[in-house]
Amino acid sequence: MHDNLRDAVTFWDGIPLPDGVLLIGGLDAQPDTRHTVVARIRDDKKSIWTLEWQARMVLPLKDGAAFALLVGVDGETCSVSDNGITELPPLPIHAREDKFGSLLGGRVIEGEAVVVGYRNQVHVRGPGAPWRTQDAGLPGRADTAARVFGLEAVDGFSLAHLYAVGMKGAIWYREGGAWHAVDSPTNVRLTAVHCAPDGWVYACGQHGVVLRGLRDQWAVVADDAAISYLWGIATVGGRVVASSNLVMYQVDDSGLVPYPFADLNPDDQKLPFSFFRLLPEADTVLSVGPKDVLRLAADSWHRIV
| 8 occurs within a structural domain | yes
> Residue 80 — φ and ψ, nearest 5°?
-125, 130
Q: Which tens digit of pLDDT belongs to each residue from 87-100?
A: 999 998 988 888 89
Give the dihedral sign, CA 85/89/92/95. Answer: positive
| 50 occurs within a structural domain | yes
Q: Which tens digit of pLDDT belongs to each residue from 15-46?
A: 999 999 999 999 998 888 899 999 999 987 89
Give the dihedral sign, CA 53/99/132/217. Answer: positive
Are 172 and 180 in contact by the 8 Å Cβ rule? The answer is yes
| 252 occurs within a structural domain | no
| 99 occurs within a structural domain | no
* Whole-number percent of the chain with pLDDT over 70: 98
Q: Give the mean pLDDT of 130-150.
A: 84
Domain extent at residue 67:
1-81
| 162 occurs within a structural domain | no
Domains held by the chain: number: 1
pTM: 0.95
- In terms of Cβ atoms closer than 10 Å to its own Cβ (0-12, 13-18, 19+), residue 112 is middle
| 218 occurs within a structural domain | no
